[in-house]
Chains A and B, each alone.
Chain A
């Protein structure tokens, strides 16, 4: 009796082992996140005691209240969100325009530009902190919303540093749209701009999703430039800087750090889960293109 199904699908035992391994690995990969949320929900006494339990019987919002009652936490959260949203919107517009120009127009210097964009991705932008610090310092006061201590400077830097990859990604998508489609649109009397707006844009939607996610994560994660630019105007700090406050090497409030980390992870996680299908196909498409 037991032999019958075994013979019908001879690879099943091997696959079952593989599936068990997969589930165990998934558990290990997810564990840090589980532990973060769990620790954030533990009552204050429990988290700092020796012998941590893998569950908690009495979930408490104490740590979250402590974080949220911190002076300005909401403000820092909104700062980060504002920066990320502006960066995403602008990088969508700019990378789409550039991708269209680089794939649909024939002009001299196109290849040079493509190579430059590729190289730009490899420049360790973190190394440019020093000149950018001086740049922001010198334009502060003269250019509105830019300069040291202004959110605009973080937006500008995050935007520009996510652009090369965004353009490169989208270029693959735009190139994949058959040229015949554009010729047909032209025959129908559609202008180039109209073609780009009405036909091309919907077709490259998966690429736009990938660009949005990557730009969002880039801006949402930025710690270095926020740390460098926002020196004295503390109300313009961002989330990654704010979390540092709870972390003291000798006496860390782990409950608060985990709660703040959880709050910081939620927007990114929600975005990823919402677009996961498109993201996976988007990256695949870009890589193929």
Chain B
């Protein structure tokens, strides 16, 4: 009320000297940013500094409890890792597993988004509800359900396959083999991550003005040509975001791998960098080595996303 009664003053923006406004803005901005900034500095930036530091030390249980002095070993941990054949296997696993999850989630999500634009409201609603359910399912619950579906003795999948005539699937263990165990985890990860892609891409397709597509059709463009030359370029910024998010999420999956392969599989055959670092540090109490893995993983993820963003920015006038 009081706002309206006040006499309207004509603004005189030019009279206010610009530097003063900026200075006032700066103070206010830092005040607004302070709470989040302090927390981010303490719980994100400082630990990043710490992990790099720890990775240069021989940091085991004795050092953690203070029973033995810290010994600076430079790149010793990194040398040890790179010389260890298991590290290279884990690295390859991480790449393969992450790539399958990212590509799988994007392909399934985009394909279903396109399908959703082609059908009437009821089937579309059913699809969206199902996807919403998969999306909402906590990683822990999802891991257990998928394990149970594929359980050797009581799983419905083996039962169904056996019923279809694949008798050899009776009692087949999906989690024993490296590839099938990774495949099972990947299926669960794709199941709960494609909905994000689907919803994003569906919104993107819906936002394309009808006239643009009509114009393309009038110009004699085939459906395929329209998809490639009109729809795809317009969706590219969205695709970029969906891909980056998928890379970020799928390359650091922890819960699913840890739960579904019982801590990294038989004899550690299903480890990815994340779980490997955790096992080295907290089960093996080699904190220095675990930190080195963490640093390498961070560098890896930053460079994958960085390279992807660069390649996309070069081909499109993004932003």
Contact = CB atoms under 8 A, between A and B. Distances in A.
B51 A127 contact: yes
Chain B interface, DSSP helix/strand/loop, else mixed? helix
Given A157-B43, A258-B144, A123 B298 contact: yes
Given A105-B26, A160-B39, A224-B278, A130 B54 contact: yes
30 contacts: A15-B119, A15-B120, A18-B115, A22-B119, A26-B127, A26-B129, A29-B130, A30-B129, A30-B133, A35-B145, A35-B149, A35-B156, A39-B148, A101-B30, A123-B301, A124-B294, A126-B252, A126-B274, A127-B274, A131-B46, A134-B64, A160-B43, A188-B8, A189-B2, A189-B6, A243-B144, A264-B140, A268-B137, A273-B136, A288-B207
B61 interface: no
Interface stretch (B79-87, B211-219, B224-232, B254-262): B254-262
Contacts, number: 300
Contacts of B40: 120, 160, 163-164
Contacts of A283: 196, 199-200, 203
A30 B32 contact: no
A48 interface: yes
Given A127-B298, A134-B50, A272 B135 contact: yes
Contact of A131 (B50, B139, B146, B204): B50
A220 B138 contact: yes
B156 A101 contact: no
Interface in B277-319: 277-278, 281-282, 287, 290-291, 293-295, 297-298, 301-302, 305
Interface residues of B, number: 102
A261 to B, nearest CB: 4
Q: A18, A126, A159, A284: which has the most chain B beta carbons within 10 Å? A: A126
Nearest to A224: B254
A257 B26 contact: no
A32 B149 CA distance: 7
B294 A192 contact: no
Contacts of B99: none
B36 interface: yes
Interface string A107-150: 11010010000011111111111111111000000000000000
Contacts of A81: none
A15 B133 CA distance: 25
B159 A130 contact: no
A107 B25 contact: yes
Nearest to B275: A126
B241 interface: yes
Interface in A70-108: 93-95, 97-98, 100-102, 105-108
B248 interface: yes
Interface string B110-129: 00100110111001101111
A147 B27 CA distance: 33
Interface residues of A, number: 100
A202 interface: no
A19 B54 contact: no
B291 A113 contact: no
Nearest to A194: B3
Contacts of B130: 25-27, 29-30
Nearest to A136: B43
B144 A272 contact: no
B141 A127 contact: no
A269 B28 contact: no
Contact of B28 (A23, A98, A101, A288): A101
A156 interface: yes
A10 interface: no
A47 interface: yes
B159 A221 contact: no
Contacts of A135: 43, 46-47, 50
A228 B149 CA distance: 29
Contact of A113 (B33, B137, B244, B298): B33
B287 A127 contact: no
B120 to A, nearest CB: 7
Contacts of A101: 28-30, 32-33
Given A97-B35, A221-B139, A268-B137, 19 more contacts: A15-B120, A18-B115, A18-B118, A19-B123, A25-B112, A30-B134, A35-B156, A50-B153, A101-B29, A105-B26, A126-B254, A130-B287, A134-B287, A187-B8, A187-B11, A188-B3, A243-B140, A272-B135, A276-B128
List the 6 closest pairs (A to B, CB-CB), nearest first.
A284-B203, A127-B294, A131-B50, A101-B32, A261-B141, A131-B47
B58 interface: no
B33 A97 contact: yes
Contacts of B12: none
B277 A127 contact: yes
Contacts of A288: 207
A163 B3 contact: no
